[in-house]
Amino acid sequence: MAGKVVAIDPGHNGANESHPEIINQMIDGGYGQRHVCNTTGTQTDAGYPEHEFAWNVATYLRPMLEAKGITVVMTRSNDSSVGPCTDKRAAIENNADADAVVSIHGDGAPSDVEGFYVLTATRPPAGATIAAASLRLASCIAAGVKGVGFPPSNTLGSGGLWKRDDLTGLNRSTRPKILIECGNMRNPTEAGLMSSDSGQRRYAQGLADGVFEFLRGGGSAS
């Protein structure tokens, strides 16, 4: 897999909450939509933040990919800054000519919701070939995360997959890209896993397995 480029986008950032004047600025969300630059993200009922979860999973995922000779591009370099805005993140990924992009998040749904879901763009901006690649990536990621023991959402999307048209990071991407809500941080069981080192490593392994399968040419568009 040497020569391949994968962009990892850990959602949100540690200082977002302290700088609403930055993250609440309006940006071009694609297809005529206007969205805020970024958000603070959610947290568990115990106060463990999504931005830290996403950063830790990304930190575990990166060396797993690099061990296979993959070049990894990160959309942020720490968990203590602000942003970047989601359109800037998409630009980083696009400019890197990434073969795959994985945006890592955690959900803040009602507590009875559990499981992951993988998002792709309803109206992909880069044409049918990239759209098909994004759907295949989503299929591979879903299989990888299921393979390490995490279930698809019992409520959101269908079989762990969901197309959306209201997310800047997907609307502005010209590369094969998915956004995964790894689990529900407001569900007590999943919150415990998502807050733990062992749980974060499992998520990273599932994502890595999905990326490897995609780069090998596996998965199916759906």
Give me the active site residues, please: 181
Q: CB within 8 A of 95, min separation 6: which ones?
A: none
Q: CB within 8 A of 192, min separation 6: which ones?
A: 199
Q: Find the length of the chain.
A: 222
User: Rounded CA gap, 98 and 118, in Å?
Assistant: 18
By DSSP bridging, strand 71-74 and strand 5-10 are parallel
Judge whether 89 and 172 are in contact, CB under 8 Å.
Answer: no
Going from the C-alpha of 186 to that of each of 6, 115, 116, 139, the distances in angstroms are 30, 11, 13, 25
User: Rounded CA gap, 130 and 107, in Å?
Assistant: 26
User: Rounded CA gap, 75 and 185, in Å?
Assistant: 23
